[in-house]
Amino acid sequence: MEKVDGKRREEQEERLQGQADIWSHMFAFADSMALKCAVELGIPDIINSHGRPITISEITDAIITVSPVPSSSPDTNCLSRVMRLLVRKRIFSVQIHPESGQTLYGLTPSSKWLLKDSEFSLAPMVLAELHPWLISPWNYLSKCVQEGGIAFEKAHGSEIWDFALANQDFNKLFNGGMACTAKIVVNAILVNYKEGFDGVGSIVDVGGGTGMMIGEIVKAHPRIQGINFDLPHVVATAPECEGVAHVGGDMFVDIPHADAVIMKWIMHDWSDKDCVRILKNCRKAIPKETGKVIIFDCVLPPDGPDDKGGLFDNTRLVFDLLMIAHSSGGKERTEVEWKRLLKDGGFPSYKIIQIPALLSIIEAYPE
| 50 flagged as catalytic | no
Burial of residue 65, with CB atoms counted within 10 A of its CB: 0-12 exposed, 13-18 middle, 19 or more buried:
exposed
One-character DSSP codes across 221-273: STTSEEEEEE-HHHHTTPPP-TTEEEEE--TTT-----SEEEEES-GGGS-HH
Closest CA to 192 of 202, 184, 203: 184
Instruction: Considering the candidates 156, 246, 268, 326, report the single residue annotated as catalytic.
Output: 268
Q: How far is CA 22 from the centre of its chain?
A: 26
**How far apart are alpha carbons 271 and 124 in whole angstroms?**
27
**How far apart are alpha carbons 341 and 284 in whole angstroms?**
16
Angle at 120 between CA 116 and CA 125, to 5 degrees: 65
- Amino acid making up residue 249: G
Q: Is the dihedral of CA 94, 122, 184, 325 positive or negative?
A: positive
Per-residue exposure over 137-167, b if at least 16 CB sit within 10 Å of its own CB, e if not: bbebeeebeeeeebbbbbbbeebbeebbeee
Closest CA to 137 of 300, 323, 269, 332: 323
Angle at 102 between CA 97 and CA 106, to 5 degrees: 70
- Amino acid making up residue 225: Q
Q: Known catalytic residues? A: 268
